[in-house]
Structure 1
Amino acid sequence: MSKPVYGKNAVQSRNVEKISSPVWALVVALIVFLVWTPFQVGLFNGQQIDYEKPIYVSSLLSGLLLLVWIGLYYKKFKLEEQRDVLAVASLLLPITYALSLFGAASHYMAMNILFIQSMYIAVFIIALYLLKQKQLNVVIQNAVLAIAYFIVGFGLLNWLGAWKFAGGLVGWFSDTVSGGKYLDAVMTDSNGLRLTSIFQYANTYAAFLMAFLFVAVFALVRSKKWYGTLTHGFMLVPIIVSLLLTLSRGGLVMLPVVFVLLLLSLKPVKQILWIIHLGIAGLASLAIASPVTNLGTELSTAFTSSAAFKGWAYLLGASAIVAACGWVIQRFVAPWLQNKLEGWESRKLAGLWLPLLSVVLVAVVAFLLIGTSARSILPANMETRLENINFKQHSVLERITFYKDAMKVVKDYPIIGAGGGGWASLYEHYQDYPYTSRQAHNFFLQYLIEVGIVGFVVFMGFIGYIFYKYIRGYLKRDKDEFDNGFIFYIIALSVLVHSILDFNLSYAFMGILVFIGLAGMGAAMDSKPLRRNWNKPGIRYSYLAVLAIGIIFMFFLSVSAVGSSNSVMKAKRLIGVSQSYEELKAPLMATLKGRPYHPEAAAYLASMDHQVFNQTKDEQYLNEAFSVLKRALKDEPNNKILLTLLASSYDLKGQNDLAFAVYRDNADKFNWDIEWYESLISRSQALARAANAEKDEAKKQEYLTTGLDAYKHVTDGVEHLKTLPPEQLQGRPFSVTPTIALNAGKMQQMAGQNEEAAATLKLGLGDAYADVVNSGTLWDTNWYSSLIARSYDLAQQAFTQQDANSKTTYLNVGLSAYNQVQADLQVQSLAIPPAIALNAGRIQLMSGQMQAASETLKLGLSEDYKDATNREMARWYLAALKKAGAAQDQAVYDKLIAADPAEAAQIDSIVNTQYQ
């Protein structure tokens, strides 16, 4: 058997190896896959059915590509050198994700990320062996660069008003194009317009741009052809301008870090050339940044050809100038520098001086742009972003909190982790304050959460070994025989370093780039022969057999998941157009047959069953909802929507105590969800009141204890929020809401804590109810009447002012107050006073509770239609019936119209008012 060839001879050997047509076909298929992926597989946060099908399709396609690779390489595959071990070791990465399924916080999300990880490894293995052949290596490099440059151009097309053209370029194969426009290629947030291109998240686009800025500079310096020099030089300005347009502070902070790390890997001449090219491109980009930013902002509101022409003139003109300068530098300056510094390059530690000088230079530039008025050369929005870079800035403080909370998750799921999507499923339980972030904003911590210490050690060992072996070989080089691998090193290093601050690898395309980068490094690394003879046919073919079995297994899972996804998407489309329960149910059942844990399908079906039960009172629909929800919750125990629907199912069945138990037993999963605690406290109060009426002191105390403990949890949380730094935004609202105050106050009154009850009411009801709260007697019928009347008036005022949040708050206070006084009067066998019935009925109608409104209003009706209040009661009662689609109460209608014919128009006015 011939011995393997390593080092320079290996490179030469690969250069002359003939490449068969099937291998070329595999390369073309891989490139097509790389083109398709960024426009199909976006951010995978595990719980959006719009994005799940592309994940399954990509897993399926990558598996097929890997099967083709096995067919082409099964004779060539050897286990002779360290590089070959990478193909075997890479399988441990999806295996650790498979292990994490046993303790997964969400089986659905964990399976989705297992599909993604399987795709990564398929791409890695294929690329590892294709990139060993220089001709294929060059083709794949050029393809990756072309894709990157297209993405940059695609983003700028959208920025400068050509969104319809940009959408047309990709709309024929991308589902992300709607109405001819790629969704959120330019997004708007509190900072203004931000360029995101295909990523729909500016910070990840910044990480992408940072990586390919350095790739473009490297390709420019390396290029031996004039057209290559001009092409790469031309792209520097569009990339830097795009980076500025993302307004990503993380990108600007990490860019110099990665730049210095890369300089350490270059010889002095190339270090100087990098600095010159980037300096010229940076100055040119800054010169046009303001007009391009302003023109893009103008074009986002109204397209004008003159503005678009100016924008492209600035951009293309600056790019052409920089490209020309780049050609001149490479043609004349680079050879001169090489001759002048040839002796210096051979000196020990010669490559350290410029990186150290760059650190100083970066510090000076950072000081000028952040600490002085020099930043005024930038557009206003960029200036503001730079001005806010400091360690007390909101996003910095928020990330520090994320990282602390992430370690709490790791502590509870240390060995095999919480499964893919573990952070998204669990963060509400561990969070320190009510932020909303389904990503931990640190890839490495998120990975640690998902696969635990075992999986994290495997992953870090895998990438660490590749980096170590690649850098070791690179530093030993005599010539530039490792140039091909350096582009892949730039990509992997840039994205991974930036991912310390963000969730770039939650985008499948970014993950693919990293694993192609690792494969490129592996193909060029310092690979030595294995000490033991592993290259036995039994071992080699066993590996390929295991790989093939795994691919086939994932293939069938992918096919099943694609079919399931098609079904749930069909149901989602039908929900907006069909009224047929059976038509809607069929695709949902098809989804749940294969994946009974699918959260959205289970939620859709359970919601439909609730609606049909409300209409028919047929228990079979309610039983089906129970069955679907309980099965889904076995694998999705932290899914808030499913838990809420389960509680609703118990409510519909009249088992309010079991619905209460759902909220009580799962409250710690949503520690900062004020709506969850509002419902828990309301239910505690209602059940305590019912137990009191039944003279069940034990139950009463149980419910009071739970409710008041929940109220203390809220007040403690409010106090904790006061300790947050003023720069750190609170996130979701968390306070003693009026509804919480009313129910907690009632429980305190029931527990004999009258002073505490009064204080609670003042704390939660606020100035709008100040006179009601300060009235002489609390909790009697007249007090409730005043409270309900005020709630109706405030809700009506908020409705007029189009303040939907305040309207809902006031309506909820009125509803809670009515439930309380109704229960109190029922115990005393007293009728509901007309004033309470009128205002409560109106509140119920405004809340969309038409049947309840008609029943409440009917309770207050009398035969005296000369009385204005009674006529108003009848008017709203008849309007509620009409809105509910119920039969008209003709007797009441005739009496009302006889008393005042104008009432007919007023009834129609209420019916036509859209309160929801």
Structure 2
Amino acid sequence: MNEGPEQSGLFPYTDEKEMDHIMIKQAINQKLTVGTITLLLFLLSGPWFHGFLLESEQMAAVLVISIGFILFLIKQRLQGSAELYLLAAFFVLYAISLTYGDDHHEALTGLLRAVMLIPLLLFVQSAEQQVMNRIWTVWTWVVGFSVPIAIISNRFVDGRLAGYIDYANSYAVVLLVGLIMAIAMSVVQPSFIPWMQIPIFLCAAGIYMTQSRTVLVLMLTVVPVLWFILRRDMAVLWLHSCISNVLGIGAAAAYSWTPLLCIPAAILFGLVLRFPLNRITISSRSIKLVLVCAIPVLAVVLIWMGPGMAERWSTFTSRTGEGATRLVYYRDAWSLVLDSPIWGCGAGAWSNLQYAYRSSDYFTAYVHSGPLQVMMEVGIIGFMLLAAACIWPIVRGLLAARSLESTEAKLYVIRALAGGVLLLHSLVDFSLSFPYILGLFFILVAVPATSQRADSATTSKHRHLIFKSTAILVAAGTFVLSTMLLVSDRLQQSAAQAYSEARKADAVQLLDRSADYAIWPDRIYDRKARMYLLEYDATHDRRYLEVAQQDNDRALAIYPNHIGYEKLRSDIYWRLGNKDKAVQLLSELVDQNHFMDQWHEDLKQKQAQMK
């Protein structure tokens, strides 16, 4: 008579195959809704399109989600939840920031990024758990195989694997979530356990090749946490996953020396994949302790094998290292937060205001801290709303897990672990500034409606009609705005292409058309002004200078405090012969914005010419 899992510490791979087959068949036969199809498109496309960080890709994602949301609202009855109301309040706050933020364009894109979260949350809450499990299974394979595809495509930045997200740290945290969810899907579908080791192996290798120190530390932290989740009846699953993890790191470390060295690790992984680990009994407390201690130690040893990773760790604590640099970012960003602590300065404020607050010579588009980024944009109130919206679904999922059967409870806990990993990583990086990763977080931690507790919020027919009508109007407005911004951005890209091909008249026409769709087209006017200024410098035709001045005035009318636009105005004044005004404006800019060395040299040269 075979021992049960509680007696032997095994997780049976074969005893439940028939039940798994029935579950898979039911999931496949389950009718996909508009919401689940939209979720699938969002999850599968994000890793290949820069995490939707670029404006055109972000607007395309928002456009698709808004269409799916409108169709979803027509057929589905909405269920309220605390996190939904918190996200709605966060969206309203971003809408208010349009009135006080200087960078209206960035505030608008931030608004659309915030409103995108509400449909994603509702899609997950209305989805069947079995369908979501199938979506997660497909997603883990796609994320895993993105690693060899990225290697073959040479998607490296400064020697670090960045994938198609084009930022190594964010790609690494997505891979870590993929690794964790591969284990979660192994819990749900026992017959898939051997095959799910493949994405685990690939994700571990990819994480190492990104050379992300924070994600590597998080990965080593996740290992013992998973042990405590799986130790009672799924110890072999944990062991198998750890072996795949270590072999993946070993293969990547070998690849960092020479690609041929990773072949033995891959062969060893194939042998382990075929080895029937389900026949192993892990019952001795000493063996368990050795495994829990030895596997992380072995992983650390492998991490130090690669020359690139060892070099990154060796420079972390230096005064000029990345750690010290980020502390400077945080200190300067906190100074900005203290100047407007309640409401913030609006989305995009950091890009322009950092020059006045920075204490050393640097530029960074993002402050590398999610909480600081949010507080700079929408203040402490916005941060508290978003933090509550992030933490509450994790808490509710963990509470719901207490009343569920063992397998489903483990799934909820592991999903909460994956969400916690994203939150922890966002403390020291700007990963949640990627719309894809922010959306991924809420998809991970959302509690499906079929699993929510009976005391979930309900609404009357009258209130439900008002709520749904408002949601449809917001979705329609989102569709219109995202379409306009997408068209505007695509026209700007076409204009850049035309200008590079010396089709300057076409470039100007394309920029004019782009401005018609941009809502706040200050950047387009600035681009035109700089084009005309270059033409003036080449031809000395004063008509170009006059048109450049007109476009510069238009840009400053929309964004009066943009130092780049003001510097361009100073340059135009100088060429127009108004040298006193040009020098006065440039002197004010140099005094207000620190460490602008090139501007300081420009000022000294112009002052010398006036003497």
TM-score normalised by length of structure 2: 0.86
User: Could you say which residue in structure 2 is the equivalent of 1:108?
Assistant: 105
Q: CA deviation at 1:284?
A: 2.7
The C-alpha deviation readout for 1:306-328, integer Å capped at 9, x for no partner, is x5xx75x4454233233234xx3
Most deviating of 269-278 and 564-573: 269-278
Of 127, 134, 143, the residue aligned with 1:139 is 134
Query: Equivalent pairs: percent with the same residue?
Result: 19
User: Could you say which residue in structure 2 is the equivalent of 1:252?
Assistant: 216
Of 163, 168, 175, the residue aligned with 1:202 is 168
Contact 1:292 1:314 in 2 (8 A): no
- AA aligned to 1:101 is L
**Within the alignment, does 1:156 sit opposite 2:159 as a pair?**
no
Relative distance call for 1:535 and 1:112 in structure 2 (3 A) is closer
User: Could you say which residue in structure 2 is the equivalent of 1:276?
Assistant: 239
Instruction: Please list, as runs of the form range in 1=range in 2, the aligned pairs for 1:663-702 lying within 5 A after superposition.
Output: 663-687=586-610, 689=611
- AA aligned to 1:234 is I
Contact 1:596 1:628 in 2 (8 A): no
CA distance in 2, matches of 1:673, 1:381: 33
Higher relative CO (Cα under 8 Å, sequence separation at least 6) belongs to: 2
Q: CA deviation at 1:378?
A: 1.2
- AA aligned to 2:588 is D
CA distance in 1, matches of 2:231, 2:385: 36
Of 234, 238, 243, the residue aligned with 2:198 is 234
User: Could you say which residue in structure 2 is the equivalent of 1:40?
Assistant: 49
Q: CA deviation at 1:671?
A: 0.7
Instruction: Please list, as runs of the form range in 1=range in 2, the aligned pairs for 1:455-854 lying within 5 A after superposition.
Output: 455-475=382-402, 477=404, 479-520=406-447, 524=451, 526=453, 528-530=455-457, 535-581=459-505, 583-595=506-518, 597-613=520-536, 621-637=544-560, 639-687=562-610, 689=611
Contact 2:349 2:376 in 1 (8 A): yes
CA distance in 2, matches of 1:522, 1:318: 43
The C-alpha deviation readout for 1:142-190, integer Å capped at 9, x for no partner, is 2xxx23332332322342xx43xxxxxxxxxxxxxxxxxxxx6122x2x
User: Could you say which residue in structure 2 is the equivalent of 1:304?
Assistant: none
CA distance in 1, matches of 2:167, 2:551: 35
**Within the alignment, does 1:294 sit opposite 2:257 as a pair?**
yes
The C-alpha deviation readout for 1:488-507, integer Å capped at 9, x for no partner, is 32332222211212111222
User: Could you say which residue in structure 1 is the equivalent of 2:78?
Assistant: 77
Relative distance call for 1:394 and 1:240 in structure 2 (3 A) is same
Relative distance call for 1:637 and 1:64 in structure 2 (3 A) is same
Contact 2:125 2:447 in 1 (8 A): yes
Relative distance call for 1:464 and 1:669 in structure 2 (3 A) is farther
User: Could you say which residue in structure 1 is the equivalent of 2:40?
Assistant: 31
User: Could you say which residue in structure 2 is the equivalent of 1:320?
Assistant: 270
CA distance in 2, matches of 1:292, 1:469: 42
The C-alpha deviation readout for 1:684-722, integer Å capped at 9, x for no partner, is 4444x2xxxxxxxxxxxxxxxxxxxxxxxxxxxxxxxxx
Secondary structure of the corresponding residue to residue 408 of structure 2: coil
- AA aligned to 1:243 is I
Relative distance call for 1:319 and 1:422 in structure 2 (3 A) is farther
The C-alpha deviation readout for 1:196-236, integer Å capped at 9, x for no partner, is 222212111221222222222333344321xx112112332
- AA aligned to 2:58 is I
User: Could you say which residue in structure 2 is the equivalent of 1:402?
Assistant: 329
**Within the alignment, does 1:332 sit opposite 2:279 as a pair?**
yes
Instruction: Give the aligned length.
Output: 589
Secondary structure of the corresponding residue to residue 190 of structure 2: coil
Contact 1:232 1:323 in 2 (8 A): no
Q: CA deviation at 1:288?
A: 3.3
Relative distance call for 1:431 and 1:65 in structure 2 (3 A) is same
Extract unaligned runs of 5+ from structure 2. 1-22
User: Could you say which residue in structure 1 is the equivalent of 2:88?
Assistant: 91
Relative distance call for 1:215 and 1:620 in structure 2 (3 A) is same
- AA aligned to 1:318 is L
User: Could you say which residue in structure 2 is the equivalent of 1:420?
Assistant: 347
**Within the alignment, does 1:219 sit opposite 2:178 as a pair?**
no
RMSD between superposed Cα atoms in Å: 3.5
CA distance in 1, matches of 2:27, 2:201: 39
Contact 2:59 2:485 in 1 (8 A): yes
Structure with the greater alpha carbon radius of gyration:
1
Q: CA deviation at 1:426?
A: 2.1
Secondary structure of the corresponding residue to residue 160 of structure 2: strand
Q: CA deviation at 1:77?
A: 2.9
Q: CA deviation at 1:59?
A: 1.1
TM-score normalised by length of structure 1: 0.59
Relative distance call for 1:202 and 1:614 in structure 2 (3 A) is closer
CA distance in 2, matches of 1:496, 1:654: 54
Q: CA deviation at 1:263?
A: 5.1
Relative distance call for 1:580 and 1:249 in structure 2 (3 A) is closer
- AA aligned to 2:524 is A
Extract unaligned runs of 5+ from structure 1. 1-13, 45-50, 164-183, 297-306, 345-352, 690-916
Contact 1:260 1:359 in 2 (8 A): no
Contact 1:433 1:672 in 2 (8 A): yes
CA distance in 2, matches of 1:22, 1:68: 15
CA distance in 2, matches of 1:481, 1:662: 65
Contact 2:345 2:377 in 1 (8 A): yes
Relative distance call for 1:381 and 1:134 in structure 2 (3 A) is closer
Contact 1:67 1:548 in 2 (8 A): yes
Contact 2:230 2:238 in 1 (8 A): no
Contact 2:87 2:385 in 1 (8 A): no
Q: CA deviation at 1:62?
A: 0.7
CA distance in 1, matches of 2:487, 2:248: 48
Relative distance call for 1:67 and 1:211 in structure 2 (3 A) is same
Relative distance call for 1:262 and 1:224 in structure 2 (3 A) is closer
The C-alpha deviation readout for 1:640-677, integer Å capped at 9, x for no partner, is 44233211211122111222233223335531121122
